[in-house]
A = this chain, B = another copy of it.
């Protein structure tokens, strides 16, 4: 068998994974200890504290699920939705669509508020739909990775809570790259992934639930359908009881601990400003290259830049040359944007002027 060490280094500027700092890789490789080892349990407490800080929450129920961001999505849905519940989902890309699909599989009566690919959800349409349906749960993707669009969240919680609903926010791509204010925004459940702006390898999903969401969980009529993702069981392991549920992914949690330490050393405000600055530098450079954004002006994400692929070119072949000749990964389009858009991620450790210059310089060589 070939060796892992033969896998070439890449500059990861796609939709994730993002570049992982050497400190995080070193933590990942620290010798494995047991999931009930006192030294490891202390680390879990610190991870929980660090996650609360990046989520800007005091939620006691804050933890890292043992799966990727999609497992986090499924966790909040299967724990907070029961068969027959009315669930309203904003859909303007792959991940809104996925939320709706996961909710349907949980037995929900799903209504969607849609916007075209590349445009933000309309806040008034969301408000109308909330008033009309009085949903048990409203789920919105904060940063739509498939389109590079940020969706409005301000003021939604009041409308949702007025009908005793819960507000779920997908923070997979936004967390640690732009403002995420779980408590201030009245979000009841949020989840993220480690491989975006946290600059940790993929494999864990930070999740936080408000006390209001925990009360809903405690009032369930039926058991959570997924045993693996059941927060009523997991909280006993992450809580003081330390009851064994499943064997935690020890080394991935080492990596998350180090990634959180780096985020907090930099400071969230400085980190958000760095993401913003990298985005602006990229925006100027791709304008020079004649590659317009396909995401709506005023709603563009700093960490995920969706631009038009060069007209008339074989975009997949160009991305392959960018990878093979320059060692740089960018993402292709999904869904409506397949074959038409490129997605340049400037996430976490990759949100630097050096990364922007590397990718735009390489594109200039390939295109001009």
Interfacial residues, chain A to chain B (CB-CB below 8 A): 1-10, 12, 14, 16-17, 19-20, 25-35, 37-40, 42-43, 46, 50, 66-71, 73-74, 78, 98, 101-102, 105-106, 193, 195, 201-203, 223-228, 244-252, 254-255, 257-258, 260-261, 264, 323, 329, 334
Chain B contacts for A106, CB-based, 8 A: 225
Chain B contacts for A32, CB-based, 8 A: 12, 17, 19-20, 25, 195, 201-202
Chain B contacts for A14, CB-based, 8 A: 34
Chain B contacts for A73, CB-based, 8 A: 228
Q: Smallest Cβ distance from A319 to chain B, in angstroms? A: 10
- What CA separation (Å) do A223 and B107 show in the bound complex? 11
| B66 close to A68 (CB less than 8 A) | yes
Q: Smallest Cβ distance from A351 to chain B, in angstroms? A: 16
| A46 close to B254 (CB less than 8 A) | no
Given A17-B34, A203-B203, A251-B252, 11 new contacts (CB under 8 A):
A1-B260, A7-B254, A8-B39, A16-B247, A17-B35, A25-B31, A66-B203, A67-B71, A68-B249, A102-B227, A203-B251
Task: Choose one: B50, B70, B201, B251; the contact of A228 (CB below 8 Å).
Answer: B70
| A249 close to B1 (CB less than 8 A) | no
Task: Choose one: B1, B10, B26, B43; the contact of A33 (CB below 8 Å).
Answer: B10
A40 nearest in chain B by CB position: B7
Q: Smallest Cβ distance from A250 to chain B, in angstroms? A: 6
Task: Choose one: B7, B223, B245; the contact of A39 (CB below 8 Å).
Answer: B7
The answer to whether A98 and B227 touch (CB under 8 A), given A201-B32, A250-B201, A258-B4, is: yes
Chain B contacts for A68, CB-based, 8 A: 66, 246-249
The answer to whether A50 and B1 touch (CB under 8 A), given A33-B12, A71-B66, A71-B228, is: yes
- What CA separation (Å) do A38 and B327 show in the bound complex? 12
- What CA separation (Å) do A19 and B264 show in the bound complex? 32
| B4 close to A31 (CB less than 8 A) | no
Q: Smallest Cβ distance from A259 to chain B, in angstroms? A: 11
| B31 close to A28 (CB less than 8 A) | no
A201 nearest in chain B by CB position: B251
| A249 close to B202 (CB less than 8 A) | yes
Q: Smallest Cβ distance from A178 to chain B, in angstroms? A: 20
